[in-house]
Amino acid sequence: MMNYWLVKSEPSEYGWEDLVAKQEDIWDGIRNIQARNYLKEMRLGDQVLFYHSGKNKEIVGVAEVSSEAFPDAKDTENQGWVAVSLKASKALSKPVSLEIIKADDRLGSLPLLRQSRLSVMPVEKNVFDLIIKMGS
């Protein structure tokens, strides 16, 4: 069964364009236990919404999990942090802003609205599909 996710990144640190340029990259540096646990749940082929945090606050693209959780090489203190690999799939034609998400009751279950600081989170399939439709 496929799962759906949302990952957040500050575009000035690592944006959608960076992932597109590399085509595939390691998603690492996560230092939150709940986010780490979500990374561990990601499976090959799962679909991932890419959200720009910071100034713009919008979903800009879709990636795919290309490698399941493995030890994060940046975890120099051996704390059990993990990373996954993501592959860029497609940019949204129209970014879906946080403002639009907040205004649509059908997206009320999105963890982004309740746990705004969490950088990795699950997304229900119907919510994922609606965001993709809104961004087309």
The CATH code belonging to domain 4-134 is 3.10.590.10
How do strand 120-122 and strand 58-71 relate by DSSP bridges? unpaired
Rounded to two decimals, the pTM is: 0.97
Sign of CA dihedral 74, 45, 112, 7: positive
User: Taking Cα atoms as reference points, which of 35, 25, 31 lies closest to residue 61?
Assistant: 25
Bridge partners of 91, per DSSP, are 61
* Digit-coded pLDDT (tens) for 44-100: 999 999 999 999 999 999 999 999 999 999 999 999 999 999 999 999 999 999 999
What's the rounded Cα separation, in Å, for the pair 128 and 117?
19
Question: In the predicted model, is pLDDT for residue 27 greater than 90?
Answer: yes
Question: In the predicted model, is pLDDT for residue 1 greater than 90?
Answer: no
* Phi and psi torsions of 115, nearest 5°: -125, 70
Residue ranges of domains in the chain? 4-134
* Digit-coded pLDDT (tens) for 120-132: 999 999 999 999 9
DSSP element (H, E) containing 5? strand 4-9
Beta strand residue intervals within 10-136, DSSP E: 24-27, 47-52, 58-71, 82-97, 120-122
Bridge partners of 24, per DSSP, are 87
What's the rounded Cα separation, in Å, for the pair 133 and 15?
22
Burial of 81 (0-12, 13-18, 19+ CB in 10 A): buried
